[in-house]
């Protein structure tokens, strides 16, 4: 069973919840899909054993033969190629690596090479968490290319916990799309509710069942609860707004380390989700 942990609003506690889930069941695969800012490793402290470079193909242009590369420039949907007279100015960060410029450009004058855009790292956290994370290189915008590599490494025979990137755009869709169930973490504030509603819309479109965990319970107002009640959305758990929990977090410790009572709560949530998923 694959459980993703997502949130429209950033900083609501996705990693807190995902790490607590993984530590509660002890044996699972954990994947940090937030490749632009991965941080679950700070809490799970995996022993990284393998690092794979992720590359994409990018063109380079053999200028100097007096040939025009205007066809490449005209073709490129992302305006990554500017061709002026016989010169080419290539904007690497705009290139999506489609290879079109090689096909339409002067024969043999546009070649391809591998450009590193980031890494995926594999490790282990005792007693039984297989850890996987993606890390996009600063400056690269190819978030989903790294996530594609993570997706290929999903262990479908085990429980999998996916820590998603914040927001509701492509990178979030990539992270949740393989999951059997998505836990949406929110906070009881107007901002939290606004982004929760957007996330719910995305999940409904993807036909992924979901439940809500409210973090920092005690702040804000009760609109999130009212919304969930009137829309028949299950609230799986409330985590109180507690300075002691924050202190543990700041030291790289999880909810489970804070109080082992949380472990039972998360095990129960997983049982509950498993029942719901198996019915469908």
Partner 1 sequence: MKVCISSTGTTLDSNVDPRFGRCAFFIIYNTDSDTFEYYENESRNTMGGAGIQAAQKALENKVDAVISGSIGPNAFKVFQSSQIKIYTGVSGSIRSAIAQLKNNELTQTAAPNVQSHYGMGR
Give the nearer residue to partner 1 in terms of CB position, either 85 or 271. 85
Of 88 and 270, the one with the shorter C-beta distance to partner 1 is 88
| Least distance in angstroms from the C-beta of 78 to partner 1 | 6
Segment near partner 1 (CB under 8 A), from 22-30, 39-47, 78-86, 236-244?
78-86
Query: Shortest approach of partner 1 to residue 191 CB, angstroms?
Result: 20
With b meaning 16 or more CB within 10 Å and e meaning fewer, what string describes 223-243? ebbebbeeeebeebbbbeeee
Measure the N-to-C terminal CA separation of the chain; round to a whole number of Å: 13
Residue 86 contacts partner 1 per CB under 8 A = no
- Which residues, listed in sequence order, are joined to residue 3 by a DSSP beta bridge? 161, 181
Q: Is 219 in the site for partner 1 (CB under 8 A)?
A: no
Q: What x/- string results for residues 90 through 109 when contact with partner 1 is judged by CB under 8 A?
A: -x--x---------------
Segment contacting partner 1 (CB under 8 A): 36-44, 73-81, 106-114, 227-235?
73-81
Residue 54 CB, shortest distance to partner 1, in Å, is: 22
Peptide bond before residue 164 is cis, with ω within 30 degrees of 0: no
Quote the crossing angle between the two packed helices 190-206 and 223-230, to the nearest 10°. Answer: 30
The CB-side HSE value for 37 (13 A sphere, CA atoms) comes to: 7
- For the CB of residue 85, give the shortest distance to partner 1 in the complex, in Å: 8
Closer by beta carbon to partner 1, 84 or else 219: 84
C-alpha triplet 156, 161, 164: angle, nearest 5° = 115
By CB under 8 A, tell whether 89 contacts partner 1: yes
Number of continuous H segments (helices) and E segments (strands) in the chain: 11, 11
Structure tokens at 133: 């994370």
Binding site for partner 1 (CB under 8 A): 73, 78-80, 82-85, 87, 89, 91, 94
């Amino acid at each position: 069973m694959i459980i993703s942990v997502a949130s429209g609003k950033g900083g609501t506690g996705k990693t807190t919840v995902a790490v607590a889930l993984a530590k509660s069941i002890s044996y699972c695969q954990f994947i940090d899909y937030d490749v632009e800012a991965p941080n679950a490793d700070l809490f799970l402290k995996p022993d990284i054993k393998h690092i794979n470079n992720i590359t994409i193909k990018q063109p380079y242009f053999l200028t100097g033969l007096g040939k025009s590369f205007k066809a490449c420039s005209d073709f490129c949907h992302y305006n990554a190629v500017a061709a002026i007279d016989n010169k080419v100015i290539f904007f690497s960060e705009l290139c999506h690596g489609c290879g079109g410029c090689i096909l339409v450009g002067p024969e043999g004058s546009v070649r391809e090479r591998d450009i590193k855009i980031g890494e995926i790292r594999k490790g282990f956290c005792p007693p039984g968490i297989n850890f996987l994370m993606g890390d996009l290189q600063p400056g690269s915008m190819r978030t989903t290319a790294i996530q594609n590599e993570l997706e290929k490494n999903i262990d479908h025979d085990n429980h999998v916990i996916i820590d998603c990137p914040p927001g509701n755009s492509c990178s979030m869709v990539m992270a949740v799309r393989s999951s059997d169930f998505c836990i949406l973490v929110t906070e009881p504030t107007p901002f939290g509710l606004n982004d929760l509603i957007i996330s719910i819309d995305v999940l409904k479109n993807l036909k992924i069942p979901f439940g809500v965990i409210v973090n920092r319970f005690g702040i804000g107002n009760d609109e999130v609860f009212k919304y969930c009640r009137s829309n028949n959305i299950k609230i799986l758990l409330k985590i109180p707004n507690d300075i002691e929990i924050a202190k543990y977090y700041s030291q790289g410790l999880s909810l489970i380390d804070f109080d082992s009572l949380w472990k039972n709560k998360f095990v129960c949530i997983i049982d509950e989700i498993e029942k719901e998923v198996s019915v469908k």
